[in-house]
Amino acid sequence: MSALAKVHYDMPDAALAAAPHRDAVQAELRRGRGAVSNAGGRYEPLLREVSDDGWGSLETLPAFKTETIVEKPKSIITRNESPDLGFDRSINPYRGCEHGCVYCFARPTHAYMGLSPGLDFESRLFVKEGAAQLLERELARDSYVPKTIAIGTNTDPYQPIERKHRLTRGIVEVLAKARHPLAIVTKSALVVRDIDILAPMARLGLVKVAISITTLDPILARKLEPRAPTPQKRLETIKELAKAGIPVSVMVAPIIPGVNDAEIETILTRAQAYGASEAGYVMLRLPLEVKDLFRQWLLEHYPDKLRHVLSLVQSTHEGKDYDAAFGTRMTGTGPYAWMLGRRFEIAAQKLGLNARKIRMRTDLFEAPSKVTKQLSLLELL
């Protein structure tokens, strides 16, 4: 059952702040989740909502539990031509993310699966079965030219279900064997599990890891990213990776005006002290359904800040909630966005971050050997 939030966010300030939560999913049913509602995807022909008929029927609804769904893709490497990204190919072993970050720009992709970008995104997860084998097959093609593959660009490759399914581990093993360059973005401390593979890759100039830190305030972090590791745990992850000789970057992402933008310098200072050598940032992005989910989150947790935060966000996108234009979608435009960018640059420069960019090697690549069906059959005889 999906809950369709009906709050009108263009209503007057006082009415907006006082709007009831009768259309949001009950707090008891979404405990430990980031989204407030579970509105149907934009492609659904019908919209459904949870409604209390006065007989207490809502009490019988089950809480949102994590469910995994097996997906069998035909390919695993995704290509892009975006000028905003430093890579042209990526791998996402999972669809959806249990971390539940309310601001996640990948949430709208769940609508393609006939599911809600809200609570479904963080509780109904897709596991791309055979990801490592698909990757090995794609790397073995005669036409393949090696360039850095990024993992974790949409959903976190080390989210909790990775402990069981180990898809990311398998992908990293294939890339290490092929001596293929790899860039990882994650919030999870689980990445240290793979130091035994990543450290030898780092010695060959084949890997770097970026740890995303949105805030150092554990209370705010639990509201924004309810099932992600604590900020302190992420700092300790930076330390463990750096100690193993793996280049580590800190991503201050996303910067949310009026919510965590005061922490830019503090996050960079702490991350550098724990061993980060590079840094980057991304402004809050609110595409499609995310804009409504974020408004609901503000109404739930910071109703007094709602109008102010939205005003600042819109000031970075020429009066809109979001502008997907290449060149500005990651950093925003306008005086406020400019000021945040300069603060980041000055702090990073003072700390010596980004003084030397790590460039990964492609000349060591060794394509996996091709195994034909006939050869596989002979090996079995």
Q: What pLDDT digit, counting tens, does each position of 274-310 carry?
A: 999 999 999 999 999 999 999 999 999 999 999 999 9
Q: Give the residue-averaged pLDDT of 89-103.
A: 95
C-alpha 150/C-alpha 346 separation (Å) is: 27
β-pair type (207-212, 248-255): parallel
- What's the pLDDT at 3? 35
Residue 371 has pLDDT above 90, yes or no: no
- What's the pLDDT at 30? 74
Residue 198 has pLDDT above 50, yes or no: yes
Architecture, CATH, for domain 13-52+60-357: Alpha-Beta Barrel (3.20)
- What's the pLDDT at 226? 93
Please check whether residue 122 is in contact with residue 161, taking contact to mean a CB–CB distance below 8 angstroms.
Answer: no
Q: Give the residue-averaged pLDDT of 170-189.
A: 98
Q: Which of 78-82, 296-300, 368-372 has the highest mean pLDDT?
A: 296-300
Lookup result for tokens 């302190």: 232
C-alpha 91/C-alpha 171 separation (Å) is: 9
The 10s digit of each residue's pLDDT in 12-64 is: 444 444 443 444 666 666 777 878 878 777 777 766 655 555 555 555 556 67
- What's the pLDDT at 28? 63
C-alpha 178/C-alpha 190 separation (Å) is: 23
22 Cα distance to chain centroid: 29
Length of the chain: 381
- What's the pLDDT at 233? 98
For residue 25, what are its two tokens? 């999913």
- What's the pLDDT at 228? 95
Residues in Cβ contact with 206 at an 8 Å cutoff, skipping those fewer than 6 apart: 175, 176, 179, 180, 181, 182, 360, 361, 364
